[in-house]
Amino acid sequence: MCVLETERLILRPPRPTDITAMTVWLGDYDVAKMTSRIPHPYSEDDAEAFLADGIIGTYFFVIQRKADGLFMGGTGLHPAEGYEFGYWLGKPFWGFGYATEAAYRLVRYAFEELGQQAVRASWFHDNPASGHVLAKLGARHNGSKMRESRARKAPVLCHEMLLTRAQFLRKEAA
Ligand SMILES: CC(C)(COP(=O)(O)OP(=O)(O)OC[C@H]1O[C@@H](n2cnc3c(N)ncnc32)[C@H](O)[C@@H]1OP(=O)(O)O)[C@@H](O)C(=O)NCCC(=O)NCCS
């Protein structure tokens, strides 16, 4: 798998030495509860199992800050789920535009290097920051449904988004 770059970030394949940081950031309930698949509490075994999964691991990138090499979070595509993409950051890194920067690069990778014509994403109704990230990329609402959150151990209203290559290119050109 390749390494992707943006102005401030390196998106790279995970390494065994990432397990500790991954466990710390994903162990925060405020992070896990906004995702569907991350359990709470989150252990090093969970991180290891995630990284050992061949399909998920193939398209998962660590979000690393160029300035100091810090592991800040992760972003990935799920090919078995219609190229659904997702992203998360440790709480200290929220609010600096990193998620938008990382997701933008990931999506460009899906369109340009993987040849996809559309990618999907979703956000829980109480996570407007994520909805905002997706809107900034050009994604459009494509229905809503209840979706299980493993961390909350409950179904949560989830907005599904679709981002076509054409929408993305229009947004990029704007
Ligand atoms: C969602 C998450 C990835 C956002 O990361 P981030 O780096 O802070 O996001 P960005 O700074 O790139 O963009 C967030 C945007 O939402 C806006 N925003 C933040 N909180 C908001 C709120 N409560 N209501 C509306 N907009 C909000 C920000 O102002 C920003 O928009 P702007 O650039 O126009 O100012 C981060 O909060 C996170 O990891 N949360 C936990 C895991 C998660 O939610 N993952 C996504 C699952 S769908």
Number of neighbours of residue 169 by Cβ within 10 angstroms: 13
149 CB near ligand 1 (under 6 Å): no
pLDDT on residue 54: 66
C-alpha 157 to ligand 1 mean position (Å): 18
Mean pLDDT over 133-158 rounds to 98
Q: Are 102 and 76 in contact (CB under 8 A)?
A: no
Query: pLDDT tens, 2-47?
Result: 999 999 999 999 999 999 999 999 999 999 999 999 999 999 999 9
**Sequence-ordered alpha helix ranges (H) in 10-58:** 19-26, 29-32, 44-52, 54-58
pLDDT on residue 172: 86
Query: pLDDT tens, 90-144?
Result: 999 999 999 999 999 999 999 999 999 999 999 999 999 999 999 999 999 999 9
Residue spans per domain, the chain: 4-173
pLDDT on residue 57: 65
34 CB near ligand 1 (under 6 Å): yes
Cα gap 102→99, rounded to integer Å: 5
Query: Which H helix or E strand runs over 140?
Result: strand 140-149
CA-proximal residue: ligand 1, atom 37 (nearest): 94
pLDDT on residue 80: 75
Query: pLDDT tens, 46-74?
Result: 999 998 876 666 799 999 999 999 999 99
130 CB near ligand 1 (under 6 Å): yes
Identify the band that residue 149 occupies on the pLDDT scale cut at 50, 70 and 90: very high
What's the pTM value of the predicted model, to 2 decimals?
Answer: 0.97
C-alpha 115 to ligand 1 mean position (Å): 27
29 CB near ligand 1 (under 6 Å): no
Nearest atom, ligand 1, residue 101 CA: 12
pLDDT on residue 106: 97
Nearest atom, ligand 1, residue 88 CA: 39
Q: Best substitution site from 7, 37, 130, 136 to test ligand 1's pocket, by max atoms within 8 Å of Cβ?
A: 130
Homologous superfamily of domain range 4-173: Gcn5-related N-acetyltransferase (GNAT) (3.40.630.30)
Nearest atom, ligand 1, residue 100 CA: 12
**81: CB partners within 8 A, 6+ apart:** 120
